[in-house]
Structure 1
Amino acid sequence: MRLTRTRFRSAALLAAGAALVGTALLQSPATAGTSAVDSAASPMAANAVGPVIWEDNFDGPAGQAPDSSKWRYDIGGSGWGNDERQYYTNSTRNSAKDGAGNLVITARQENGGFQCHYGPCQYTSARLLTAQTFTQTYGRFEARIKIPGTQAVWPAFWMLGAEGGGWPNNGEIDIMENIGREPNTVHGTIHGPGYSGAEGIGAAYNSPNGQAFRDGFHTYTVDWEPGAITWYVDGVQYQRRTPADLGGDTWVFNHPFFLIMNVAVGGYWPGYPDGSTVMPQTMTIDYVRVNQLTSGGGGTGGAIKALGKCMDVAAANSADGTPVQLYDCNGSAAQQWTRPGDGTIRALGKCLDVAGGGTADGTKLQIATCSGNPAQQFTYTGAQDLVNPQANKCVDIPSANTANGNRLQIWTCNGTAAQKWTL
């Protein structure tokens, strides 16, 4: 089916005095691409979860503000590109710990006190983000949340790219969104250049037991890997997206993102408060956690082979720029490669790297200090290709020549044995 909804996103406006991240958005009504997933939902099993990278369990006394070393605020009543009706504050009236290990974001009906784009603000709420405190490329992003539910209320747990030149080029990953008139449905969506606004790519997940999501806590999870994003609710996978879903548009999910959680009131997609709307409304967050992923069990060291030879660091030299070549398999440290789950492939304490960040056929491979840049990101596909998503090219043995010392390169993926690697 096609999920049609009117929705906009503004890029995150950081707390008072901070820089503006991205730009305000003015987009047409959105139609999110969907996949038929309800009947084929499967348990969470594709990825092994590594260490916790970042988390907040919201321990502390009732009424305490969220940890300022982890969360900052967007503040204001501009409508946020969506014609929203709330004014976002940094007040503990709108976001505070409850003393039981939860953070509570409260949307309230107000009688003035703040100025919104439509006049005196009728509602207040909170929007918290980690743009200045934590960003991450790849991993498992998860929160356990009890969402609110009434007409016009719009809770969300999502991410924006911390670089990339503003929305939509920086990318957006919506881990969970709900609108009050759909109590049994949550949505997951990605946005980027050519698939933003009206062309967001996503899917809906319906409660399997018919109960409203607002009736209890649920876990909302995204596993984000190089070249793939997978959504889960309560451990059940309902959607997976790869560059193949974008119809030729650019996959921009290869750089750091930051976290956002908020409760909006009103807007083009959820509609506006009416006589059925009940206030206040609360979103209760038990925890937010980011883990490293280890895809395909790649956390241990081992050889990477093609055409009967091994991927090798020349002369076992760990200096930046040392060529990566084909060589007889010998079990040395120069041929022991690890995949720690962050998209990198590592040996001798360095990362496999596309020289100069090049994307052209024939660009050589080397090792370099791990930096998190796209030249060091590789996806291992079911077809045994090692792909650099930035270039959309495969790791390749030039001319399929098995001579020792033949320096590896990237090349347009062509399905030949010179591009088929076993890990």
Structure 2
Amino acid sequence: MDSPRLSRRLLLSVVSVLALVSLSTGLAPGTSASAASPAAKPSAKSTARPDAARPAAVAATFSDEFDGPAGSAVNGGKWQIETGDNVNNHERQYYTAGNSNAALDGQGHLVITARRENPGNYQCWYGRCEYTSARLNTSGKFTTTYGRVEARMKIPRGQGMWPAFWMLGNDIGQVGWPNSGEIDIMENVGFEPSTVHGTLHGPGYSGSGGIGAGYSLPGGQAFADAYHTFAIDWSPNAISWSVDGTVYQRRTPADLGGRQWVFNKPFFVILNLAVGGYWPGDPNGSTSFPQQLLVDYVRVSTDGGQPSGGAITGVGGKCVDVAGANSANGTPVQLYDCNGSGAQQWTVGSDGTIRALGKCLDVASGGTADGTAVQLWECNGSAAQRWSVPAARDIVNPQANKCLDATGGSSANGTRLQIWTCTGATNQKWTVTR
């Protein structure tokens, strides 16, 4: 679905805080795609490990559980509140300061409220503003490079409503948008109550040309009916989107058609509730106010990539095993009953390698085709020995952009491991003991 959305340029009253940040963005929709029913349980905090295509991420953790007295403002040590209107997207709201439209409810939630009102005689691009709402970000407070970024939220409903949970490159003040990059973790427009979108924007693929996809709840369920967890698992040269733990898209530089991947650097987090605009359209007589975006938590967890050792378990609870505990080059890597032997003790290193018995997990002959066998081989720094281990539990060889896979979906002892196009199937899900 295309949209005539332009870059979002917001007038800010906190200029002294954001002197280096000109927030010019273009939240764009992706292509809708139905997905399986998500789990109802919110996902727990988890970690993602980068591969060696870039330096390991600096360990960092951000969490806001929004605990505090009802009516109090958000924690100013973690968030700053933006103010102003937005002409470029033709949004209708004025973002207010303080706790007027963003406040804690005393029950562990942040409530961002959109109202049909104008108590301050605010002026917008179209004249006297008709609505107020709130937008907050972590610029100057917190940034992260890689990791799991997630929020559990209950979104509003109604024509013209546009909630978003997203990120901008921290260098936006130097390079501008879209060169800074933008990662839209979750967007919803009111006329699609069952669908959310995840999108990338960068140089040559911004606005309506963003790269993304949609996730739809089954059976006409609406996202506004319950809380859902929206997340990305982000590693060098790869980002995966999930809803309630179900991964619905994965993007790498291969998806950009030769255009620049600008997502291996620090980004900050943004939450907002817009009213109207090119993409959602304006509210109409069916839209009731006030509308609220309820945020249970925002969590960001990254891993410094420090080596750790332990078992890697997969389908059937079997362990990744070096056949015969043989450390010779070319020894098959297989599934086998877990027995605690050295042949099943794997170290995930900050250099992107996965090692056992002093050798590396290796894609045979550096192959990239489905079905290429995985083996043990002397560590040589090649791309065939680089792996990304995101929190979504895939183990990915970035060179092939393929997942570690138990052949035929079998859990029998001796099942050979290979690489295969990532499908999210059980035989591609692994638990790494850290």
5 Å-filtered alignment, 1:33-182, equals 34=31, 36=33, 38=35, 49=47, 53-79=61-87, 81-111=88-118, 113-163=121-171, 165-182=175-192
Change (3 A) 1:345 1:129: farther
Is the CA contact 2:10–2:84 (under 8 Å) kept in the aligned structure 1? no
User: What one-letter code is carried by the residue in structure 2 that aligns with 1:6?
Assistant: P
> d(CA) in 1 for partners of 2:216 and 2:244?
12
User: What one-letter code is carried by the residue in structure 2 that aligns with 1:38?
Assistant: A
Q: Secondary structure at the match of 1:230?
A: strand
Q: Secondary structure at the match of 1:220?
A: strand
Is the CA contact 1:41–1:238 (under 8 Å) kept in the aligned structure 2? no
> d(CA) in 2 for partners of 1:38 and 1:384?
22
Number of aligned residue pairs: 322
Does structure 1 residue 287 correspond to structure 2 residue 297? Answer: yes
Is the CA contact 1:218–1:234 (under 8 Å) kept in the aligned structure 2? yes
Is the CA contact 1:158–1:175 (under 8 Å) kept in the aligned structure 2? yes
Equivalent residue number for residue 195 of structure 2:
185
Select between 7-16 and 138-147 the one with higher mean Cα deviation. 7-16
> d(CA) in 1 for partners of 2:250 and 2:304?
17
Q: Secondary structure at the match of 1:104?
A: strand
Instruction: Report deviation, 1:73.
Output: 1.4
Is the CA contact 1:169–1:252 (under 8 Å) kept in the aligned structure 2? yes
Change (3 A) 1:30 1:289: closer
Change (3 A) 1:40 1:68: closer
Instruction: Report deviation, 1:111.
Output: 3.9
User: What one-letter code is carried by the residue in structure 2 that aligns with 1:228?
Assistant: A
Is the CA contact 1:49–1:291 (under 8 Å) kept in the aligned structure 2? yes
> d(CA) in 2 for partners of 1:146 and 1:42?
15
Is the CA contact 1:11–1:167 (under 8 Å) kept in the aligned structure 2? no
Is the CA contact 2:118–2:132 (under 8 Å) kept in the aligned structure 1? no
Instruction: Report deviation, 1:198.
Output: 2.6
Change (3 A) 1:294 1:16: closer
> d(CA) in 1 for partners of 2:11 and 2:201?
18
> d(CA) in 2 for partners of 1:337 and 1:146?
39
Q: 1:268 aligns with which of 278, 297, 318?
A: 278
Q: Secondary structure at the match of 1:91?
A: coil
Instruction: Report deviation, 1:58.
Output: 0.4
Instruction: Report deviation, 1:39.
Output: 5.8
Is the CA contact 1:6–1:31 (under 8 Å) kept in the aligned structure 2? no
Change (3 A) 1:224 1:267: same
Equivalent residue number for residue 7 of structure 1:
5
Is the CA contact 2:29–2:197 (under 8 Å) kept in the aligned structure 1? no
Change (3 A) 1:129 1:48: closer
Instruction: Report deviation, 1:106.
Output: 0.4
User: What one-letter code is carried by the residue in structure 1 that aligns with 2:210?
Assistant: G
> d(CA) in 1 for partners of 2:349 and 2:138?
27
Change (3 A) 1:23 1:101: closer
Q: Secondary structure at the match of 2:224?
A: helix
Is the CA contact 2:8–2:86 (under 8 Å) kept in the aligned structure 1? no
Instruction: Report deviation, 1:166.
Output: 1.4
> d(CA) in 2 for partners of 1:386 and 1:245?
13
For residues 295-335 of structure 1, what are the alpha-carbon distances to aligned partners after superposition, in whole Å with 9 as ceiling and x for unaligned? 9x974499xxx9969xxxxxxxxxxxxxxxxxxxxxxxxxx
Is the CA contact 1:221–1:232 (under 8 Å) kept in the aligned structure 2? yes
The answer for unaligned runs of 5 or more in structure 2 is: 49-58, 312-326, 331-345, 355-385, 402-434
For residues 262-301 of structure 1, what are the alpha-carbon distances to aligned partners after superposition, in whole Å with 9 as ceiling and x for unaligned? 0000100000121111111100100000112599x97449
Is the CA contact 1:55–1:288 (under 8 Å) kept in the aligned structure 2? yes
Change (3 A) 1:267 1:96: same
Instruction: Report deviation, 1:338.
Output: 5.2
User: What one-letter code is carried by the residue in structure 1 that aligns with 2:144?
Assistant: Q
> d(CA) in 2 for partners of 1:308 and 1:13?
61
Change (3 A) 1:384 1:122: closer
User: What one-letter code is carried by the residue in structure 1 that aligns with 2:211?
Assistant: I
5 Å-filtered alignment, 1:379-394, equals 380=388
Instruction: Report deviation, 1:57.
Output: 0.2
Hey, which bits of structure 1, 4+ residues long, moved more than 3 A?
11-14, 22-25, 29-32, 34-37, 39-45, 297-302, 306-309, 336-340, 343-346, 378-387
> d(CA) in 2 for partners of 1:266 and 1:13?
17
For residues 209-247 of structure 1, what are the alpha-carbon distances to aligned partners after superposition, in whole Å with 9 as ceiling and x for unaligned? 421100111000110111111011111111111111001
5 Å-filtered alignment, 1:227-266, equals 227-266=237-276
Root mean square deviation of aligned Cα: 3.8
Select between 150-159 and 12-21 the one with higher mean Cα deviation. 12-21
Q: Which has the higher contact order (CA 8 A, sep 6+)?
A: 2
Q: Secondary structure at the match of 1:245?
A: helix
Q: Secondary structure at the match of 1:214?
A: helix
Q: Secondary structure at the match of 2:220?
A: coil
Identity %: 51
For residues 56-102 of structure 1, what are the alpha-carbon distances to aligned partners after superposition, in whole Å with 9 as ceiling and x for unaligned? 000000000000000001110233x2011111011312000000000
